[in-house]
Amino acid sequence: MATKILTEHINVPGIETFDVYRKQGGYTAVEKALKTMTPEAIVEEVKKSGVRGRGGAGFPMGMKWSFLAKPEGVPRYLVCNADESEPGTFKDHYLMKTIPHLLIEGMIISSFALGANKSFIYVRGELMYVIHILEKAIAEAKAKGFLGKNILGTGYDLELVVQPGGGAYICGEETALLESLEGKRGNPRNKPPFPAVKGLYQCPTVVNNVESIATTSWIVNNGGDAYAAIGIGRSTGTKLISASGHINKPGVYEIELGVPVEDFIFADEWCGGIRPGHKFKALVAGGSSVPILPANLALTLANGDKRLMSYESLSDGGFATGTMLGSGGFIVFDETSCIVRNTWNFSRFYHHESCGQCSPCREGTGWMEKVLHRIEYGHGHQQDIDLLVDVSKKIEGNTICPLGDAAAWPVASAIRHFRDEFQWHIDHPAEATQPGAVYRGDMALV
Amino acid sequence: MEDVKPQLLKVTIDGIEVEVEPGTTILQAARKIGPEVAPPAMCYYQPLKGSGGKCRACLVRVAAGSAKDPRPMPKLVASCLTAVQDGMVVENTTNPQVVDARNGIVEFLLLNHPLDCPVCDQAGECDLQNFAFDHGKVTTRYEEDRRTFEKHDLGPYVQLHMTRCILCYRCVFTADQITNKRVHGVLGRGDAAEIGTYIEKAIDNDFSGNVIDVCPVGALTDKTYRFKSRVWFSKPVDAHRDCPTCSGKVTLWERGEEVIRVTARKNEWNEVTEFICNTCRFEKKKTSDWVIEGPTKISRSSVISANKYRGDTIKPSFGQRLAAAEYKPIHDERDTSQLQIQQLPPERFAKVLPSALDPEP
């Protein structure tokens, strides 16, 4: 049985209430951290654990914490990024609605470690019911003395605020999130200065994902070394994967990093295989912004080894033959999926969600979407494929925030691995525009 | 106490070394060297705090971060925001990746910006026109419909034509920083974003006219001047008056004896040196209102200075380089001595058509 860190007690009835959560050993980490540990010791444990940011970028969390500037007389803030909205990613949402106290416990420990007296949970506005669940949980924790003034008599004060976002994907980018939290238009800031130096209200700020913060209570209880023992190489610990698409058992799974991708898709413990009678065609491993992989590359590395669910293994081979673990939005496609239509759909999302601040992203995402739309609906030209590759290259790396890259990678990778499918759409517009038409190699018809 | 001189930082841009004070950005350091290596800037505007980083026109490659840490920076950086470090090596016009990125930026900016320079009021003073001239391509690959807008009247003086806007945010920063009540901002997201006043509202304050000066393209125009004249037919003259609201230092644009437009004075990078009030800009249009100082020096930029003050200030640029690249000598097999045609000495072309003189490969 694989180790469960976040979802161990998730099936206990009533786990969303304080009493049940407490009975399952909840909030012991807060007691341990606040009463027996110094903030430095907690940061040290998190560093030792090697846990990497679970929001997508995979930056070591302990290192991020140690970058926090600590000037005299200036408040520090911890902001929890719960603005999860990438297509295919729904793990934070699930965690918050089923076991809200895990996040709150993590917030208390992390805030204490960072010296923050006011912390924010920025939740996507669409998830209003989750906000109500969180607020109820916060009120319970406050009533029991785990939040507010003088927590557990240790003299540490913490106020926890849940802030609904306006429902913009770009507000999941950390600096745009801070702008939004300050009440401004959610445009990403130019970096440097980084939030660790000048973040919320120009004060040092740490922004962490829900899942990252939720792990801290286990790390405090069991020690960083125990956490580092789970997983593989530099990808330590467990990861929530939100699996969706043409699999038998879609859902949120907690896996130890290092599980082979093949096992994850086909084992009964997890996705349970591709739906009956169909073949595995392509995989988006970490949310829609990461490059798409064809079946053979998704399961094996370029050198023939099995591909594993870890940061290093998934990105093996760069973008030529690899992808990214990202936020864990695992989308599986079988042979009935049209890659062109799917790419257009992703592109449509990024076009809609671009903030419009910097020119490559503002104009480029729209351009790509329109060209893809044209190809999908049978009006593509031969030069359109190369045009898309070129436009995606001109966007990639030239924008203020990573949304430009996120928009460019799916398009560039889809053309890299499924060029013949795009070509078929251009060569056979009449067949390609039939309802449900999908390119299937030589057969090339419905 | 003796003044402690800040230690100067050495930075190399396109092989030219320059010493600058700490805190200087790459763009400022490059401007110190001169227009030949200065990256173009569409959204950066030195007098406006917080401007820059949006248009991505000034992207450069940092080939070495500093003397202490000579690793190159992984991505192209916005030179208007990146501070120099001692020993930094920057590649601007010498790096093909940068040139390629700029071609891309021009293409993106021109996707929705109409190429109607012949009828646009900003022609001749347009930053985008200069930028496209230097870095653009002659054709477009964009086939879709371009977005268009109705014109908006923002009060009695300013007209907004969103079709031309490239969302540089300069007017928003200007209104935010020099006036009390900002009534306009950016609405919408992505390529649906637009400058607007939400409900049709006039921009009504003493300094509202400055948004016209900072606009790099012809989106915000002066209603008292629109289509009265082309800018190159007028003569800019520095003048001042005793103004209770602003410094009163302006440039008058004269046609004959008539003052057809008043603008703030700009430096060689097309940036306003001192913002002026609406009274000076829109109401004082008689020469008798002003004390004339003398002709304005236009040391760089656009056709205003071409053929008028110093023809050589314009560098042989995109159009000429294109002509040079496509130059084909005509093979005339006739005996030219019989035709009595005098051959022009090749040096005459050296400045404009450098490649024409290269021997055939």
For residue B12, count other CB atoms closer than 10 A to its CB.
17
Q: Assess B96–A contact: CB distance below 8 Å, yes or no.
A: no
Three-state DSSP class for residue A377? coil
* Residue B25 CB contacts under 8 Å (≥ 6 apart), including other chains: B79, B80, B81, B82, B83, B84
Structure tokens at B121: 């009021």
Alpha carbons A84 and A169: distance in angstroms, whole number: 8
For residue B195, count other CB atoms closer than 10 A to its CB.
24
Q: Give A146→chain B minimum CA distance, Å.
A: 41
CB contacts < 8 A, A to B, total 94
How close are the terminal C-alpha atoms of chain A, in Å?
43
Alpha carbons B120 and B171: distance in angstroms, whole number: 19
Q: Give A201→chain B minimum CA distance, Å.
A: 15
Residue B128 in this model has a pLDDT that exceeds 60: yes
Between chains, do B104 and A358 touch, taking CB under 8 Å as contact?
A: no
The DSSP line for A112-153 is HHHT-SEEEEEE-TT-HHHHHHHHHHHHHHHHTTSSBSSGGG
Residue B109 in this model has a pLDDT that exceeds 50: yes
* Residue B328 CB contacts under 8 Å (≥ 6 apart), including other chains: none
pLDDT digits (tens, 9 = 90+) for B320-340: 566 666 666 666 666 666 666
| ipTM, interface predicted TM-score of the complex | 0.91
CA distances (Å), B183 to each of A180, B151, B152, B207, in order? 20, 17, 14, 13
Alpha carbons B76 and B58: distance in angstroms, whole number: 10
DSSP character at residue A115: T
CB contacts of B190 in chain A (<8 Å) are: 351-356, 362, 365-366
Alpha carbons A386 and A426: distance in angstroms, whole number: 12
CB contacts of A359 in chain B (<8 Å) are: 42, 54-57, 105, 108-109, 166-167
pLDDT digits (tens, 9 = 90+) for B244-264: 999 999 999 998 889 999 999
Backbone angles phi, psi at B263, to 5 degrees: -130, 170
Nearest to B141 among A168, A185, A387 (CB): A387
Task: Select from A102, A82, A79 the least CA-distant residue to A92.
Answer: A82
Could you identify the residue written with the tokens 């925030």? Answer: A401
Sign of CA dihedral B201, B202, B203, B206: negative
b or e along A44-83 (b: 16 or more beta carbons within 10 Å of the residue's beta carbon)?
bbbbbbbbbbbbbebebbbebbeebbeeeeeebbbbbbbb
Alpha carbons B272 and A390: distance in angstroms, whole number: 37
Q: Give B76→chain A minimum CA distance, Å.
A: 7
Could you tell me if B279 and B245 are in contact, meaning their C-beta atoms sit under 8 angstroms apart?
yes
Could you tell me if A332 and A283 are in contact, meaning their C-beta atoms sit under 8 angstroms apart?
yes
pLDDT at B311 (0 to 100) = 45
For residue A187, count other CB atoms closer than 10 A to its CB.
23
Three-state DSSP class for residue B312? helix
Alpha carbons A91 and B210: distance in angstroms, whole number: 49
Could you tell me if B100 and B56 are in contact, meaning their C-beta atoms sit under 8 angstroms apart?
no
Q: Assess B97–A contact: CB distance below 8 Å, yes or no.
A: no
CB contacts of A318 in chain B (<8 Å) are: none
CA distances (Å), B315 to each of A65, B16, B312, B355, in order? 51, 18, 7, 15
Q: Assess A400–B contact: CB distance below 8 Å, yes or no.
A: yes
Residue B5 in this model has a pLDDT that exceeds 60: yes
**Biggest alpha carbon distance in chain B?**
83
Positions in chain A whose pLDDT score sits under 70: 1, 442-446
Residue B358 in this model has a pLDDT that exceeds 60: no
Structure tokens at A140: 């319970």
Task: Select from A315, A346, A316, A326 the least CA-distant residue to A415.
Answer: A346
Better-predicted residue by pLDDT, A335 or B352: A335
Residue B344 in this model has a pLDDT that exceeds 80: no
Chain B residue with CA closest to A168: the answer is B189
CB contacts of B191 in chain A (<8 Å) are: 351, 354, 356, 362-363, 365-366
Q: Assess B239–A contact: CB distance below 8 Å, yes or no.
A: no
Three-state DSSP class for residue A196? coil
Chain A residue with CA closest to B74: the answer is A397
Q: Give B322→chain A minimum CA distance, Å.
A: 22
Structure tokens at B357: 């003189």
Chain A residue with CA closest to B57: the answer is A359
Between chains, do B54 and A356 touch, taking CB under 8 Å as contact?
A: no
Structure tokens at B309: 């003050």
Could you tell me if A212 and A55 are in contact, meaning their C-beta atoms sit under 8 angstroms apart?
yes
pLDDT at B359 (0 to 100) = 47
Q: Assess A360–B contact: CB distance below 8 Å, yes or no.
A: yes
**Chain length of chain B:** 361
Residue B344 identity (one-letter amino acid): L
Q: Assess A184–B contact: CB distance below 8 Å, yes or no.
A: no
CA distances (Å), B330 to each of A361, B191, B327, B334, in order? 45, 47, 9, 11
pLDDT at A75 (0 to 100) = 95
Alpha carbons B110 and B95: distance in angstroms, whole number: 23
Between chains, do B142 and A367 touch, taking CB under 8 Å as contact?
A: yes
Indicate the pLDDT class of residue B133, thresholds 50, 70 and 90: confident
* Residue B182 CB contacts under 8 Å (≥ 6 apart), including other chains: B172, B175, B176
pLDDT at B350 (0 to 100) = 59
Alpha carbons B151 and B169: distance in angstroms, whole number: 18
Structure tokens at B182: 């900002």
Chain B residue with CA closest to A380: the answer is B143
Nearest to A366 among B54, B186, B191 (CB): B191
Chain A residue with CA closest to B54: the answer is A358
Between chains, do A360 and B59 touch, taking CB under 8 Å as contact?
A: no
Between chains, do B101 and A352 touch, taking CB under 8 Å as contact?
A: no
Q: Assess A349–B contact: CB distance below 8 Å, yes or no.
A: no
Q: Assess A111–B contact: CB distance below 8 Å, yes or no.
A: no
Chain A interface, mutation test: which of B54, B191, B217, most A Cβ atoms within 10 Å?
Answer: B191
Q: Give A390→chain B minimum CA distance, Å.
A: 9
Alpha carbons A412 and A428: distance in angstroms, whole number: 22
* Residue A189 CB contacts under 8 Å (≥ 6 apart), including other chains: A175, A176, A178, A179, A400
Between chains, do A360 and B56 touch, taking CB under 8 Å as contact?
A: yes
Q: Assess B25–A contact: CB distance below 8 Å, yes or no.
A: no
Residue A434 identity (one-letter amino acid): Q
